[in-house]
């Protein structure tokens, strides 16, 4: 049992057709998840918290529950403990996700043991993760846009030094990768369920 980020879904009073997925951390007495993913960028205040929020929204919208643990972190500790960039918060909120209560942290050595996938936003992030990962965990490190099915694009650009449009573009790219990433998480979960049934 550990601290998990969970979702609270609330309807909009002004627009009944809209809802917001709000993220918050608390201790829950729940069964350990069958699959886990860590979303990674450089500082964990722009791309990876937006990716965490978007993936949680996709999971919350599923007809059937998926036992998954989702977290995000940065390859560097520049912003340890900070909220996501205000521009990232605003962009995510426009798409129905509140990431304001998430806090930045750095990737730790134990993350490579804990998570099934460490999904990076760009190739620099991948290089940093591979340098930190032991040989037995390097297969867990993936690029998010690998799951988008477009081999021509590999990197989700860092919007930190740009304007509002840069954050919207990042969210567009995150959306492109989410369906494929979710399918991969479903595949891992199904494989573990089948393996557990065989052993049982």
The verdict on whether 85 is a catalytic residue reads no
Angle between helices 164-199 and 47-60 (to 10 degrees): 50
Catalytic residue among 41, 71, 111, 122: 41
Catalytic residue among 22, 46, 47, 111: 47
Residue with tokens 């449009």: 165
Residue 17 CB neighbours (<10 A): 6
Q: How far apart are CA 38 and CA 107, in angstroms?
A: 9
Instruction: List active site positions.
Output: 41, 47, 158
């Amino acid at each position: 049992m550990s601290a998990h980020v969970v979702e609270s879904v609330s309807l909009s009073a002004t627009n009944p057709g809209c809802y917001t997925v709000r993220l918050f951390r608390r201790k829950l007495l729940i069964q350990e998840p069958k699959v886990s993913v860590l979303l990674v960028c450089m500082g964990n205040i722009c791309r990876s918290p937006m990716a965490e929020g978007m993936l949680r929204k996709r999971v919350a919208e599923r007809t059937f529950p998926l036992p998954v643990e989702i977290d995000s972190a940065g390859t560097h500790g520049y912003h340890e403990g900070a909220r996501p960039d205000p521009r990232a918060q605003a962009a995510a909120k426009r798409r129905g996700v509140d990431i304001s209560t998430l806090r930045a942290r750095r990737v730790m050595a134990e993350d490579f043991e804990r998570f099934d996938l460490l999904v990076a936003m760009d190739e620099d992030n991948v290089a940093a993760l591979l340098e930190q990962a032991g040989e037995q965990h390097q297969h867990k490190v993936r690029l998010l846009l690998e799951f988008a099915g477009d081999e021509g694009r590999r990197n989700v650009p860092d919007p930190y030094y740009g304007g509002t449009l840069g954050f919207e573009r990042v969210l567009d790219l995150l959306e492109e990768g989410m369906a494929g990433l979710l399918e991969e998480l479903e595949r891992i979960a199904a494989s573990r369920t089948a393996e557990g049934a065989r052993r049982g």
